[in-house]
Structure 1
Amino acid sequence: MSSPIKSVAVVGGSGNLGKATVSELVNAGFTVTVLTREGSTSTFAKGVVSKVVDYSSVESLTSALTGQDALVSTIATAAVGGQQTLVDAAVAAGVRRIIPSEFGINTRFLGKEPIGAILQGKVKTLNYIHEQSKRNPSFTWTGISTGLFFDWGLDHGSIGLDKSTKTATIYDSGNEPYQASNLPHIGKAIAAVLKHPEQTVNRYISIASFNPTQNQALEIAEKLTGEKWTVKHVLTSEEQQIGAEKLSKGDYSAFSNFLRRRVYGDGAGLAVQGPDNALDLLGLEGEDLEGSLRAWLVKIKKLNADGKLGRNG
């Protein structure tokens, strides 16, 4: 890649990860354009350009992407099946690097697990991108696996800690390390990938803010609150069964059940540590688990004080 990446278009810029991504790209000095739908009321930071597009139209997307060096997609899993139009437009517009919505678990090693059926949109999109890059060497890609969204998961209960009731849901033994990343850290990683285009060209990388166990997170939460929490034990085999029953009825909320089985199950082996963690490649450092939990508890305390307590307070 002969010249540095300077201009970046972001899809899904108003979402949870999208906001963090736009912020970190701006902080890293990129010129950022966010693609939005007709009628969107989303607002963005000063200096961020917003372009209205028709996501079903290659022509509309190509026009919006012309002049962009890179495209980052942060759209939710449910919408990733529609990324092929984005890919075609990116190729037509001469975009040099695409980072598709791969964030979360590594989709390259799903095998025949049921969760793979739900993630086929991601799998097929990256396969399509890979094929396009072989046909057009100037079109390159980077896939990024981040594990669980830790800070978001604390707020929404998916990490298993409920501050309002001082209750922790522990799956299996609770001793399995798992890959987890905070949203701003993912944004920093995306920016770093684009700052290191040669080192990350046509590569699938994995990052993690940290690799905690459920019991470690609970122990820290108890220390920070100065209270003993109630523990609810759940088997991931039961989660798998519940997920299978849901999926048989076309209920794709089964994803959460399958995810808990895949991530928290004893022997899962999905922690990303040492040389497997691409943070060194990107010039980034890991984050502090206790600091992240403390920030969450402080935020809940403030929401309580302001009368804006959310779901997991």
Structure 2
Amino acid sequence: MVSIKTVAVLGGSGNLGPAIVKELIAAGFTVTALTREGSTSTFPEIDGLTVKKVDYTSFDSLRDAFTGQDAVVSVVATAAIGVQNVAIDAAVAAGVKRFIPSEFGVNTRKTQGLPIGKILAGKVSVVDYLDEKAKQNEGFSWTGLSTGLFFDWGLKVGSIGVNVKDKTATIVDSGNEKFQTSNLAHIGRAVAGILKHPDETANKYLATASFNPSQNEIVGIVEELTGEKYNVTRLKSEDLWKAGEEKLARGDFRAFGDFLKVWNHADGIGHAVEGSESANELLGVPYEDLRETLKAYLTRVGAI
């Protein structure tokens, strides 16, 4: 049986990294956060957290940082996805047992052949590379994790489609399609669950979610809790798809936003994560309460 006690988090200072670091420490792992040389990012003072600066592009720098680590969790930004192959080689050389790549969003194993897959091709190739390395190196394994949209973070930045300040909402098609989405802390707990169950999660691509709401459900709860009626703008998935294709043809990768709305919300798309597709039970992370998450957010921003 594989035992994982020490974990290095690569790129742990972004939107998701701190939540993963916090939940790993809470789960009893010894955590080292690795940041890019020259980075001015800071971490909250957490007992048991070590912070080191490394050169993300240097095999030697990464190998040295990974030495003594049982697992590496990569949370590098999409723009830096390419550095992961160097990190994977360094992890193998350092004797790392498990590598979790920077997925944490759309299930990239389902995007191949689609326009959104062209934009996410870097992520797809990293998982393919990991699978190859795991077959070539006994004792090395990987786990991919799809989480859907970052829900609590998305409420703050507007990617969920609800603007509390302006009392507006954007809904695609009927608004009844359920979609995969996860709170940041839930994602952190899911990562900890992978490493607490290393044998059961080895060389697998898993999916998790805090909940699978519809857009109409979210707007309805927000309107109920605030006592305010929201002004709703409706979009058609076919129009979003066409707009995305036109942008992609020009090399404009803002097309991702259009394709992502289609991926999550188009009627009949079927990308909710429920039943046998969900790894929640395996990872020990129960579904969360949508209403309570929305209530906490609305309270925090003074909307209720």
Q: Tell me the CA shift for residue 297 of structure 1.
A: 0.7
Alignment of 1:1-313 (within 5 A): 1-2=1-2, 4-44=3-43, 45-301=46-302
Would you say the 8 A contact 2:146–2:208 is kept in 1? yes
The separation in 1 between residues aligned to 2:259 and 2:155, in whole angstroms, is 19
SS of residue paired to 2:270: coil
Deviation at 1:47, TM superposition (A): 2.5
- Output the amino acid matched with 2:27: A
> Would you say the 8 A contact 2:88–2:130 is kept in 1?
yes
The whole-number CA distance in structure 1 between the counterparts of 2:218 and 2:79 is 29
Runs of 4+ in structure 1 off by over 4 angstroms are none
Task: Give 1:36 deviation, angstroms.
Answer: 1.2
**Counterparts of 1:109 and 1:263, CA distance in 2:** 13
The 8 Å contact of residues 112 and 118 in structure 2, kept in 1 or not, is answered as no
Partners of 2:72 and 2:301 lie apart in 1 by 35
Equivalent residue of 2:291, what SS?
A: helix
Q: Cα offset for 1:50?
A: 1.3
Q: Is the 8 A contact 2:24 2:31 kept in 1?
A: yes
How far did 1:231 drift? 0.9
Q: Partner amino acid for 1:248?
A: A
Corresponding letter in the other structure for 1:18: G
Tell me the CA shift for residue 247 of structure 1. Answer: 1.5
Letter matched to residue 179 of structure 1: Q
Gaps of at least 5 residues in structure 1 are 305-313
Indicate the larger mover: 242-251 or 127-136.
Answer: 242-251
Residues in 2 aligned to 1:262 and 1:295: alpha-carbon distance in whole angstroms: 27
Q: Please give the alpha-carbon distance, in whole angstroms, between the structure 2 residues aligned to 1:94 and 1:75.
A: 21
Give TM-score scaled by structure 2 length.
Answer: 0.97
- Pairs aligned (count): 302
1-structure distance, mates of 2:187, 2:15: 11
Task: Report the AA paired with residue 95 of structure 2.
Answer: G
Distance in 2 (alpha carbons) for counterparts of 1:181 and 1:161? 16
Gaps in structure 2 of 5+ consecutive residues: none
Give the whole-Å Cα distance in 1 for the aligned partners of 2:82 and 2:102: 10
In 2, Cα distance between the equivalents of 1:278 and 1:205? Answer: 6
Cα shift at 1:78: 2.0
State the Cα deviation string for residues 253-291 of structure 1 (Å, max 9, x = none): 111111001111011001111222111111221100001
**Cα distance, 1:41 vs structure 2:** 2.3
Q: SS state of the match for residue 269, structure 1?
A: coil
Q: Percent identity?
A: 56
TM-aligned CA deviation for residue 210 of structure 1: 0.4
**What's 1:307 paired with?**
none
Amino acid at match of 1:204: Y
Q: In structure 1, what residue type is equivalent to 2:93?
A: A
- Matched residue, 1:310: none
Counterpart secondary structure, 2:4: coil
User: 1:242 offset after TM fit, Å?
Assistant: 1.5
Which letter maps to 1:244? E
| C-alpha distance in 1 between matches for 2:225 and 2:299 | 10
What TM-score do the two structures reach when normalised by structure 1? 0.94
